[in-house]
Amino acid sequence: MDRDTFWKIIDDARESVDDLYDVASAITERLAKLTPEDIVAFKQHQWDVEAESYRWDLWAVAYIVNGGCSDDGFDYFRGWLMANGRKRFETAMANPESIADWAEGDAEYEDMLYVAIDAYKQKTGKEFPYDSVTSKRPTDPVGEEWEEGQLETMYPGLWKKFC
């Protein structure tokens, strides 16, 4: 499975449901039809995308949109961002404040982080083989760390919409 196929599965699932919070089950359903190797490959791409988005600028956005953001909350925010599909994800990576154009309220989606794990269990009846994937997540978020008092200046559009 390549990165394009990874995103196609997410985008197709997103288009198939009315509610964003049904995307995880739609992805899990699609993944469970694939080979165990493809499910593992999907998870590797997911971890890679999570690592690429482990950035201070996106954490600032999550903090503003969600009224605060813990470590776990930032993971769930990135799950939410991923569930919104490739175009929105890549646009947010290039311009984090673009999220103000479409985000509404709660921007966390923990279930999205477990789609491959759940699909693997459904497919094989076994636990997910975590030793088959590698996390490339940096020890610390990439980029410039910020202070809460800087957020209004950093992302005025998001601040105006959510604060």
Q: Is the pLDDT of residue 153 over 90?
A: yes
Mean pLDDT of 141-152: 96
For the chain, give the secondary structure using H, E and C.
CCHHHHHHHHHHHHHHCCCHHHHHHHHHHHHCCCCHHHHHHHHHHHHHHHHHCCEHHHHHHHHHHHCCCCHHHHHHHHHHHHHCCHHHHHHHHHCHHHHHHCCCCCCCCHHHHHHHHHHHHHHHCCCCCHHHCCCCCCCCCECCCCCHHHHHHHCHHHHHHHC
**In the prediction, which pLDDT does 57 show?**
98
Give residue 7's pLDDT: 98
- pLDDT (0 to 100) of residue 137: 78
Q: pLDDT tens, 38-92?
A: 999 999 999 999 999 999 999 999 999 999 999 999 999 999 999 999 999 999 9
What would the mean pLDDT of 127-156 be, rounded to a whole number? 94
Residue 142 phi, psi dihedral angles, 5° rounding: -85, 145
Structure tokens at 125: 């009846």
Return d(Cα 14, Cα 49) in angstroms, integer.
17
142 pairs with which residues across the strands? 55
Task: Report pLDDT for 74.
Answer: 97
Query: In this structure, what token pair is assigned to residue 17?
Result: 């449901």
The whole-number pLDDT of residue 104 equals 87
Q: Which two tokens stand for residue 56?
A: 């201070």
Calculate mean pLDDT across residues 158-163: 94
With contact defined as beta carbons under 8 Å apart, do 91 and 55 qualify? Answer: no
Residues 88-134: tens digit of each pLDDT: 999 999 999 999 999 988 899 999 999 999 999 999 999 999 999 99
Report residue 94 as tokens: 């290039």
